[in-house]
Amino acid sequence: MNLRPIVAGNWKMHKTPTEGASFVETTVNLLLDIQHVSVIFAPPFTGLFDMDVPPPFYSAAQNCHWEEKGAFTGEISVSMIQECGAEFVILGHSERRHVFGESDDWINRKVKAVLAGDLKPILCVGETLDQREAGQTELVLKSQLEQGLASMDSLKEIVIAYEPVWAIGTGVTANNEQVELAHTSVRKILKELYPESYNIHVLYGGSVKPGNAEELIQVPGVNGFLIGGASLDVESFTSITRTVETVQMRTL
């Protein structure tokens, strides 16, 4: 299986629309020769409207509501995101789960709404440090995937991001063995849930940097990255993308 890798930058609550547009312009110009990687920018909602990027560049929202419209102050619907030209929506990020208390049931509704709107969910899963130390990593992944992907027709357009909570924004990266084991578990669970599922991207996220990207992208089962901190800086983001492109070209 040689899926085209994805490098996605999750900006979180960083960059105004003007800053975002200038970042994207600079980055795209530096990466015009990229042919084997899909590059995704996930700005805050306010930056999404003006983000018209040509493939292999795409934009993503960082969240959405599952209802189409209504009295949901502060929320954004799938069709609003769609009209901005985004292709992807990040869902179930650990900050949404742990800071904003999103439940697996909500995440499941969002995944379905995003698919119904012909966009692609990037569903994030991952264990906390306590859960890892208690030997519950696989259990947590199973529960998040089982509930987040409950009662779907197929997993065709879904991207999964394995992001151990303890590695997000901490500078601590999961080691190769931990990443490989977790990715193997994710794929095993997906197969159990949807036996016909295949060719699903499973990204790694958690303190990915220029210095560890080459090693991590070669871990079996890793089809790309979801990057927070290092996606905010032109040099780091382009460097990681180039590394993934180079490694991918070697496999072709």
User: Distance between CA 47 and CA 60 in Å, rounded?
Assistant: 10
Active-site annotation holder among 65, 87, 93, 102: 93
Check residue 159 for interaction with ligand PGA (CB under 6 A): no
* Ranges of H-type helices in the chain: 17-30, 45-48, 78-83, 94-98, 104-116, 129-133, 137-148, 176-193, 210-217, 234-251
Check residue 229 for interaction with ligand PGA (CB under 6 A): yes
Selected binder of ligand PGA within 59, 163, 190, 194 (CB under 6 A): 163
Residues binding ligand PGA: number (CB under 6 A) = 13
User: Distance between CA 161 and CA 146 in Å, rounded?
Assistant: 15
66 close to 106: Cβ distance less than 8 angstroms: yes
Q: Shortest approach of ligand PGA to residue 8 CB, angstroms?
A: 8
Quick note: the x/- pattern for ligand PGA over 173-212, rule CB under 6 A, is --------------------------------xxxx----
Active-site annotation holder among 95, 102, 127, 163: 163
Is 93 considered catalytic here?
Answer: yes
Interface positions with ligand PGA (CB under 6 A): 10, 163, 168-169, 205-208, 226-230
Active site positions, annotated: 93, 163
